[in-house]
Chain A
Amino acid sequence: MKKLMTIYIALLMACMSIAQSPSELWNRANQAYSEGRYEDAATDYAAIIQEAPIITRAYSPVYYNLGNARFKQGELSQAILAYERCLRLKPTDKNAKYNLQFAQSRIIDNIADTQVFFLRQWLTTFRNMLPLGVWMWSSIILFSLMLICLLLFAFSRSIGVRKAGFYVSIVCLVCSVICFSNAASLQHRDTARAEAIITRGIVNAKASPDRSGTELFTLHEGTKVTIHEVLGGYANIEVGNYNGWIPVNTLERI
């Protein structure tokens, strides 16, 4: 009887916790974090994200706090994953950037991106500076601006206005195209979800997607890799200038 009672209470509490609103969960998780109960905090943050109907920019602090809780628990790869996801939603978050860097300084693998052409790296950094929506809206606004300038050029009698309209419209068009390409690139990154974090402590990359493949190199927890393709439980990944196959279950896509 007593056992039944406890089970009933446990179920009731479970139901209550499910029924809690995201704001309540958030406050409870923050409280748990401040008291050092990082595991409880992480569970609650994860619950907020799981119950969200759609993940928007508003959820970036949840990922950030989840990352902190995971870091304090010692789960480095989960922390990095959460920070990366936070930065996906809000690339300008300085605290998330700092903590991500801090967490990355703790991982074992030191992948030097020496082979990436510097211009490409700059472009990637530039692209990641703003979120997808901002790039898209900038592109649309710049496109409209270009049309307005063209109309000015076409209909104005004043030579100065016509000239200005002409040049500004060209600049607007170029900028609009740049914004559009950045947005498209981000869209591709987000839909392809090609970037992933190694979640297993240590994993050996093989030359072919099967168990008998020659072992090529070793990766450790928390390292960021790019997935090229997935074949029969193995993912073809690239990191730095290494390329190999590792089991899919040792990765988690950002």
Chain B
Amino acid sequence: MIGNMRRLTYILTAVCLFPLLGVGILRADEVQFRAQAPAQVIVGRPFQLAYVVNQRAKDIRPPEFKDFDYIAGPYTSSSSSTSFVNGRRTSSFQMTYTYTLMAQKEGTFTIPPATVTISGEQYTSNGVKITVLPEDQPQQSNSGSGQAAQRSGSQQSAQSAQSGPEQGNIFMRTIVSKTKVYEQEAISLSYKVYVAGVDLKQFTNNTTLPDFTSFLQQKIDLQDIQLELENYNGRNYQTATIYSTLLYPQKSGDIQIEPASFEAVLLVPNQARSRSIFDDFFNSYTTATRTLRAPGATIHVAPLPAGKPASYAGGVGKFTMDSKISATDVKANEAITLTLTIRGAGNMKLLKTPGVEWPEGFEQYDPKVTNNFKTSTGGMSGTRTIEYLAIPRAAGEYTLPAVEFGYFDTEKGQYQVLRTPEYTLHIARGAGDQAAAGSQPSAVSYVNKEDIRELGSDIRYISAANFVPAEENEVPVVVFGSWQMYLLYGCPLVVALLLFVLFRKRIRENADIIGTRKRQANSVARKRLKKAKTLMAEQKKEPFFEEIERASLQYLSDRLAIPTADLNKDSITSTLRSKAIDESLIERTNRVLSDAAFARYAPAMGIQPEQLYEQTESLINDLEDCKL
């Protein structure tokens, strides 16, 4: 039961896999049906047209050969091969139908496709384009000039060394695509060898090429040298391009390209015949080297006209530009890529990368440039892709200005400027911003402090406030130096003087109170003391004590500028204290005053007049010495 199940599974798997296998086999055996013929043929010479098919076919139906004479065919041949490589079997089969045709007239003709039937189905081949060259014209007998022409290295006519069509001929031509170009416009230069009637075996390495100064040179790789028939100056040659290069002129003016020389190895039949019988069967050859000269050329290079646009990037040719931006709505700290694709033909390699003016606050990186160029004899073409990467560091709305790319259009002969559209970029707050930094404070809360960067300098903008011109009444009345001004000084002065004059009594009083009385205090006190002394001598005790008290009080009042009404012991003490008088002196002052009062109003206390007089005198003396 289980075994049956397993078998069933195998079968099912095989059934499932079979269609896949079948498809694989079918694809491998895809029908290929091709027509093969030489690209160039000569009038009156038969050539072969072959139809190759990779499966067994029958019933080939050739097209109508209306421009060619049908000579013979079809000859059918078939071949098959089988090979095992690493256990894999590959087999190939080929069937060829060959027709022999002959061209009737010169020109370019197309042989229409043929049809063939393979296992009931019809297949169509490709058409073939054939250029028919004229027959060799019999050479005019101007062998001498031919020699000279070859030696002179003229670009157009370089003819055989030996005359006559049957004679061998080999020479080089220099083929320049353009002789009048603009600076930086590419020209292609190739050296082509023309061979007729001789066997060219190979070229040696002994080649002298011009050193293409004042050109930027780019060699074109010739994968395999293709032989072509070409009718040149009435004779058919086998030709091959053996060296090809692109040249970009780097300066204007007439630039001379030096002639080049190549060394060819020819097979020459042995002249000295031996008598051997085999010689007729095996022609013996010797090799001979021959130097072939390719003529020089003159290129007229026109300078690029004036008026280069500011965005001129050095391009000469024909270009188009596309731009693509990765995103216009991103968060801060997320990258934005602007991709420019410059497509075209011209001096692609010399293009400068156009500058992109990212707005302030965008960190920009060096652009990444990818080139995809193709070099052919037609010039260099392809695409250059430039990726600009920038990272916005701050949120906001920005405008990325249009990127300009200026080049010189060689077709129109004038400068062209290509522009990308302007992009508006919306930058939202991103992960690295402060607002979002709460979760990982140590990692992202670091903020780069920057000084204000000065980007440029200019004058400050005009004042745009409302301008109110001065009215007549706003014109100042007082002008410096005018009488009005002096009046303004004079009026207060006159008023002040009047006040001084009117109240001069008060001034004098004020002056007395303070100045004079202070100055005269001592002398007034002395006068009173003198009077007291006489009273003491007359033994008039009552008036004596009165005089002493008055003298001391008067002196203190004058000296301390205390009005008489305010004069008492306390005011005197506080005034003296405020003037930082020695405490003992204050005590003495108080004692003198109280003694005088006691002596006057309480004579029973028995105060001696002499003692009081001395005390008062010494006190006044001491106070006079004090700075009050």
Binding site for B on A (CB under 8 A): 22-23, 26, 30, 33, 48, 52-54, 56-59, 61-62, 64-65, 68-69, 71-72, 95, 98-99, 102-103, 132-133, 136-137, 140, 143-144, 147, 150-151, 154-157, 159, 162, 183-184, 186-187
User: Closest residue of chain B to A99, judged by CB?
Assistant: B459
Residues of B with Cβ closer than 8 Å to A?
457-470, 472, 474-476, 478, 480-481, 485, 488-489, 492-493, 495-496, 499-500, 503, 506-507, 510, 513-514, 561
> How near does chain B come to A13, taking the closest CB pair, in angstroms?
23
Contact B462 A64 (CB under 8 A): yes
From B495, B510, B513, B561, give the contact of A155 (CB < 8 A). B510
Can you give 28 A-B contacts (C-beta < 8 A)?
Answer: A22-B467, A22-B469, A23-B466, A23-B468, A23-B469, A26-B467, A33-B462, A57-B470, A58-B467, A58-B474, A98-B459, A98-B460, A99-B460, A133-B476, A140-B488, A143-B489, A150-B496, A151-B499, A154-B500, A154-B507, A155-B510, A159-B514, A159-B561, A162-B510, A184-B480, A184-B481, A186-B480, A187-B480
CB-nearest residue of chain A relative to B506? A155
Q: Contacts A98-B460, A144-B492, A147-B492 given: A183-B480 contact, CB under 8 Å?
A: yes
A48-B469, A140-B485, A147-B496 given. 8 additional CB < 8 A pairs?
A23-B467, A23-B468, A53-B472, A59-B469, A102-B459, A132-B480, A140-B488, A144-B492
Taking a contact as CB atoms under 8 Å apart, the answer to whether A103 and B459 are in contact is yes
User: Contact at A155–B503, with CB atoms within 8 Å?
Assistant: yes
Q: Is the CB of B500 within 8 A of A65?
A: no
Contact check, B507 vs A155: say whether CB atoms are below 8 A apart: yes
- 5 closest A-B pairs by beta carbon, nearest first, are A56-B470, A26-B467, A61-B463, A65-B462, A147-B496
A58/B463 contact (C-beta < 8 A), A102-B457, A143-B489, A147-B493 known: no
Measured between alpha carbons, how far is A147 from B488 in the docked complex, in Å? Answer: 12
Say whether B561 contacts A59, CB under 8 Å. Answer: no
Q: Which residues of B contact A150 (CB under 8 A)?
A: 496
Give the CA-CA distance A168 to B476 in the complex, in Å: 30
Number of A-B contacts (CB under 8 A): 98
Supposing A30-B462, A48-B469, A56-B474 touch, asked if A136 and B480 sit within 8 A by C-beta, the answer is: yes
Instruction: Tell me the minimal C-beta distance from A141 to chain B in angstroms.
Output: 9
User: A67 to nearest B CB, angstroms?
Assistant: 8
A132–B468 CA distance with the chains assembled, in angstroms: 21
Q: Give the distance in Å from the alpha carbon of A95 to the alpha carbon of B470 in the complex.
A: 21
Set B467, B472, B475: member contacting A62, Cβ < 8 A: B467
- Report the minimal beta-carbon distance from A64 to chain B, rounded to whole angstroms: 6
Partner of B462, one of A68, A133, A144, A186: A68
A221 vs chain B, min Cβ distance (A): 17
CA of A102 to CA of B461 in the docked complex: distance in angstroms?
A: 13
Q: Is the CB of B496 within 8 A of A151?
A: yes
Given the interface pairs A71-B459, A151-B496, the reply to whether A52 lies near B476 with Cβ below 8 Å is no
A68's partner among B461, B466, B500 (CB-CB below 8 A) is B461
Is B468 a contact of A187 with CB atoms below 8 Å? Answer: no
A164 to B480, CA, bound (A): 31
Tell me the bound Cα distance from A144 to B489 in angstroms.
7
Q: Are B469's CB and A187's CB within 8 A?
A: no
Bound: A64/B466 CA distance, A: 14
Chain B residue numbers with a CB within 8 Å of A103 are: 459
**Chain B residues with Cβ under 8 A from A184's Cβ?**
480-481
- What distance in Å separates the Cβ of B466 from its nearest Cβ neighbour in chain A? 8
Contact in complex: B459, A68 (CB < 8 Å): yes
> What's the least CB distance linking B458 to chain A, in Å?
8
Bound-state Cα–Cα, A22 to B499, Å: 50
Shortest Cβ distance from residue A86 to the other chain B in the assembled complex, whole angstroms: 10
Give every chain A residue within 8 A of B460 (Cβ-Cβ): 68, 95, 98-99
How close is B455's CB to chain A, nearest CB, in angstroms?
A: 15
Write the nearest CB–CB distance from A75 to chain B, whole angstroms. Answer: 13
B345 to chain A, nearest CB (A): 41
Q: In whole angstroms, what is the CA distance A94 to B485 when docked? A: 30
The CA-CA distance from A241 to B472 in the complex, in Å, is 43
| B464–A30 touching, CB < 8 Å | yes
Cα-based distance from A218 to B415 in the complex (angstroms): 45
Whole-angstrom CA separation of A18 from B495 in the bound complex: 51
Q: Please, how many angstroms separate the alpha-carbon atoms of A146 and B487 in the complex?
A: 16
Which single residue of chain B is at the shortest CB-CB distance from A25? B467
Chain B residues lying within 8 Å of A61, measured Cβ to Cβ, are: 463, 465, 467
Shortest Cβ distance from B547 into chain A, in angstroms? 30
Query: Whole-angstrom distance from the CB of B578 to the nearest CB of chain A?
Result: 12
Q: A155-B507, A159-B514 are in contact. Are A64 and B463 (CB under 8 A)?
A: yes
CB distance from A103 to the nearest CB of B (A): 7
Closest Cβ of chain A to B551, distance in Å, is 25
- A48 CB contacts on chain B under 8 angstroms: 467, 469
State whether A136 and B561 are in contact (beta carbons under 8 Å apart), knowing that A23-B467, A59-B469 are contacts in the complex.
no
Most chain-A Cβ atoms within 10 A of its Cβ — which of B459, B481, B485, B495?
B459
List residues of chain B with CB within 8 A of the CB of A183: 480
Residues of chain A with a CB closer than 8 A to B496's CB: 147, 150-151
Residues of B within 8 A of A186 (CB): 480
Nearest chain B residue, comparing its CB with the CB of A30: B464
Cα-based distance from A59 to B478 in the complex (angstroms)? 19
Residues of the B chain whose Cβ atoms lie less than 8 Å from the Cβ of A156: 510
Contacts of A151 in B (CB 8 A): 496, 499-500
Chain B residues contacting A65 (CB-CB under 8 Å) are 462-463
Interchain CA distance A186-B503 in the complex, whole Å? 40
CA distance A143 to B457 in the complex (A): 46
**Neighbour of A157 across the interface among B476, B481, B492, B510, CB < 8 A:** B510
- Rounded to whole angstroms, the CA-CA distance of A147 and B480 in the bound complex is 21
When distances are taken between beta carbons in the complex, the residues of chain B under 8 Å from A98 are 459-460
Q: Which residues of B contact A57 (CB under 8 A)?
A: 470
User: Which residues on the A side are within 8 Å of B513 (C-beta)?
Assistant: 157
Q: How far is the CB of A119 from chain B (nearest CB, A)?
A: 24
Contact B488–A58 (Cβ < 8 Å): no
Known contacts: A33-B462, A64-B462, A187-B480. The answer to whether A143 contacts B470 by CB under 8 A is: no
Shortest CB distance A137–B (Å): 8
Closest chain A residue, CB of each to CB of B468:
A58
Cα-based distance from A52 to B457 in the complex (angstroms): 33
B561 to chain A minimum Cβ distance, whole angstroms, is 7
**Separation of A96 and B475 alpha carbons in the complex (Å):** 23
Report chain A residues within 8 Å CB of B499.
Answer: 151, 155
Residues of A within 8 A of B472 (CB): 53
Shortest distance from the beta carbon of A59 to any chain B beta carbon, whole Å: 7
The residues of B that contact A52 with a CB separation of less than 8 Å are: 469-470
Q: Which chain A residue has the least Cβ–Cβ distance from B478?
A: A136
- Complex Cα distance, B461 from A157, in Å, reads 60
Partner of B470 from A59, A137, A162 at Cβ < 8 Å: A59
Which residues of chain A have C-beta atoms less than 8 A from B478's C-beta?
136-137
Q: Which residue of A lies closest to B507 (CB)?
A: A154
Asked, given contacts A23-B468, A23-B469, whether A95 binds B463 with beta carbons under 8 Å apart, the answer is: yes
In the assembled complex, the Cα of A71 lies from the Cα of B460 at a distance in Å of 11
